Amino acid sequence: MYPMNSPIPLNSKALVVHDIEALNHVNPNSPNVNSGNGVPNGAPFANNLMTGTKRLQDELEKTGTKMRQHEDNLKFLKSQKNQLDDAILDLQVNLGKSLSSGAPSTEDGGSSLGRSEEETVEQISKHEKSAANIFCQLKICHGIQLSNPALSQELLGVVATLGKVEDDNLSRLFSEYLGLPKMLSVVCKTYDGIKALETYDFDGAVNKFTGLYALGSSVGHSLEGRFLVICLENLRPYAGEIIADDPQKRLDILHPRLPNGEIPAGFLGFAVNMVHIDRSHLYSLTSSGCGLRETLFYNLFSRLQVYRTRAEMLVALPFITDGAVSLDGGMISATGVFALGSREDVGVTFPRCSGKDRLPVKYYELENQLKQKKWEKDRLQEDIRREQALLDQQKYNYQLQKQEFLRFIADSSSFLTQHQLQTAGRVQTPR
């Protein structure tokens, strides 16, 4: 007989065959097997024994089949995981090569971006009692995991921190065009964010113990005066096309054209397309699937044109529909409205782009592929854990069924042996 804690055999059929053969020395139809002393007689007992044996054997074989299926699934899943590991490694190598070959060299590597963002936050912090400063302090202290879920999900940031530009001159030019109130505007996704920022008493007065006022107090800054909040949901988005295969999703706006079909001299492009936006804010921030360029920055800049010099901008005046700026300080804020005088330092500017922000399209394609492979690997690991748990459960079931079968065989053999001894004694005793 098998000990109760013996290893589980690979073939459950081998287990049952061995133990059934152990009963073959008993002939259930023999006259020696009768109903004396309550013992079942002949064929009925044999049928019950074979039926019980067959049932337990079928259960063992069924569980063994399930075990082999889960083992095969695990083997397949692990081979898939190994292939994903190799693909991820290859993508990481190619990504590194693309980064080293595509990024322009700088004296301080990629640290200029972080330093520029810190500079912008420092500029905002000088406006201590502004909503923009409170938001930045909350982000530093709490990482935007605010106690108010509506604010955590709705607030995107401050206009000045949501875009980057190529150089300091463009940064100062764009910030001057927008003006300080717009640069310090807080941006949220839907009107729910507006409602969470500020509430009112019954008489219509602002309740300064709720919303952003209460959060400001939590970081030691009071909020005073008016502040602008831009709600993406309520903006009219750009209705045209996006430049095909452009990683920054720049807007496909028609360039101004002279009567001869040429682009005006000195025209550099549209301001809305000169702002670099983090990839997380390029897609699906609104219910219609628009990002920051089609909503926020298009409404801030519209079709603002950028020229190399003031003189070239004035020559192109008949073709300017929504204002223009020039790198040497010229500014037309709207059709027929000219901003004269010296340039004004707004004090809050956009961060500068880093080398990584100017990487080729191939880099972002590889980056997306790497994210997709890592996501597939995470899903695969979940499948592996689930299959392993199912296999462990089937092994446990198999062990229980095996022990039940062994007890059945042992009890049947003992019962038949005892009955044979009893009937043999009665045959030998003279009447």
CA dihedral 244, 250, 252, 254 (to 10 degrees): -140
Token pair recorded at residue 196 = 């969470």
Contact (Cβ atoms closer than 8 angstroms) between residue 387 and residue 69: no
pLDDT bucket at 235, cuts 50 / 70 / 90: very high
State the Cα–Cα distance between residues 348 and 342, nearest whole angstrom.
18
**In this predicted structure, which of 235-249, 347-361, 370-384, 394-408 has the lowest mean pLDDT?**
347-361
Give Dmax over CA atoms of the chain in angstroms.
139
pLDDT in tens, 266-319: 999 999 999 999 887 888 788 888 999 999 999 999 999 999 999 999 999 999
Report the pLDDT value the prediction gives residue 326, as an integer from 0 to 100.
93
Check whether 58 has a pLDDT greater than 50. Answer: yes
State the Cα–Cα distance between residues 414 and 420, nearest whole angstrom.
10
Token pair recorded at residue 164 = 């980057």
Report the pLDDT value the prediction gives residue 310, as an integer from 0 to 100.
93
Report the pLDDT value the prediction gives residue 309, as an integer from 0 to 100.
92
pLDDT bucket at 104, cuts 50 / 70 / 90: very low
pLDDT bucket at 430, cuts 50 / 70 / 90: low
Hey, which of 96-105, 166-175, 293-302, 339-348 has the most confident mean pLDDT? 293-302
Check whether 7 has a pLDDT greater than 60. Answer: no
Sign of CA dihedral 205, 206, 208, 209: positive
Q: In percent, how much of the chain has pLDDT > 70?
A: 76
CA end-to-end distance (rounded Å), the chain: 38
pLDDT bucket at 331, cuts 50 / 70 / 90: very high
Contacts 24+ apart (CB under 8 A), 200-208: none
- Write down the domain spans for the chain: 43-103+365-431, 104-358
Note the CATH number of domain 43-103+365-431: 1.10.287
Contact (Cβ atoms closer than 8 angstroms) between residue 295 and residue 232: yes
